A = this chain, B = another copy of it.
Amino acid sequence: MFVAMNRFEVAPGKSEDFERIWSERESHLDQVPGFLRFALLRGETEGEYISHSTWEDRDAFLAWMESDSFRKGHAGPSLMGILQGPPKVSLYEAAVTQEAGGPSRTE
């Protein structure tokens, strides 16, 4: 399992606009091979957000980055004036996973 996180620092007073853009976007993710799930996470500090996507493996994520679906998904409204700075991407491989009702599993 592979996780990509993108950390955003939203300008003061712009959090509602930021969330609305995400909820109204056409993500095109749901049909992408290897995509498992997405969440936009709101932190406890004003303006702190993470876009969080989970994939079967790194290759599925990399293939999506090269795809038309990625290009279309990033053609929406600009975040200019809404962010305080550039988003910061971090990538992770799962070392251990566990689901509700299931045993712990080493990947």
Contact = CB atoms under 8 A, between A and B. Distances in A.
Copy number in the complex reads 2
**Looking at chain A's contact residues, is the secondary structure mostly helix, strand, loop, or mixed?**
strand
A92 B25 CA distance: 21
A41 B95 contact: yes
Nearest to A56: B100
A94 B44 CA distance: 11
Contacts of A100: 30, 35-37
A96 interface: yes
Nearest to A103: B30
Given A30-B104, A41-B92, 20 more contacts: A3-B39, A19-B106, A23-B95, A23-B96, A23-B104, A25-B104, A27-B104, A30-B98, A30-B101, A35-B100, A37-B97, A38-B96, A39-B95, A39-B97, A40-B95, A40-B96, A40-B97, A41-B94, A41-B95, A43-B91
Interface of A: 1, 3, 19, 22-23, 25, 27, 29-31, 35-44, 49-50, 52, 90-104, 106
